[in-house]
Amino acid sequence: MGIVNRTPDSFFDRGKFFNLDDALTRAEQLIFDGADVIDVGGVKAGPGEDVSVNEEIDRVVPVICALKKRFDVALSVDTWRSEVAREAYAAGALIGNDISGFSDPEYLKAASQAGATVVATHIRLAPRVPDPDPHYSEDDVVGAVCDFLRARRDEALAAGIAAQCIILDAGLDLGKTAEQSLALLRASGRIASIGQPLLLSASNKTFLGTLCGLSIDERREISLAAVALGVSLGCRVVRVHDVKGTRRVIDVLEAIISS
């Protein structure tokens, strides 16, 4: 899953692909590099200036429309708003990637009506809300995340989403300390045992930088290491900035495991 952030304040690319033409060029390169899915987002997860629903739609839908016409690739919309998801599905998106854990009560209904796949992500508070000192009951972040994701899976099933159309994401860095995110990465096998495909979104994230003392621009290799570990433990979807490097890592792992 290649990342296209059409935001002026993305934590990684810092608005480099905010212009529509630049976003499309970025997506084209990711597809050429081997992406199976392009995940288009219009609002960053962290704190920032308010973005209206209409503005978010204006950011993501033109990208999805253009990619749908030009490429045979699955398209995902990175949003927690049902209104944005509906417009994205109408434009051709097949996946709703919701980092809020279905906080919008209409989100699953929109996905069900569109026949879309959904990503259920764990987050402790809410998107865009600072969470500098997160705590979990009995210091069991893995147990808390597993319980949360089971509940979101059940909620999606009750809304009419088919089991094969529900993906889970532990939400590394989202309301977690570096140590908590590392614990969740190590526990990927346990989380995958819930029974749904597990998405890993670790690319260039803060917990990796904290672990190695590296800035955002220096995290390529450690992001690939996280992918290798996550996939070996059971992650089956990886959301990344470096599609070419990640594809090579996964191809090697597949060859080793299947030999």
Cα separation, 96 vs 78, whole angstroms: 6
Q: What is the dihedral of CA 197, 153, 4, 65, to 10 degrees?
A: 110
Phi-psi region of 63 (alpha: psi -120 to 50; beta: other; left: phi over 0): alpha
Looking at the DSSP bridge assignments, the partners of residue 117 are 95
Catalytic position from the list 6, 44, 59, 239: 239
Catalytic position from the list 44, 176, 205, 219: 205
* DSSP state for residue 195 in the 8-state scheme: S
Cα separation, 185 vs 170, whole angstroms: 8
Looking at the DSSP bridge assignments, the partners of residue 168 are 120, 198
Active-site residue flag, 239: yes
Phi-psi region of 138 (alpha: psi -120 to 50; beta: other; left: phi over 0): left
Active-site residue flag, 152: no
Give how far Cα 239 sits from Cα of 23, 213, 227, Å. Answer: 17, 22, 9
Give the residue numbers marked as catalytic: 205, 239
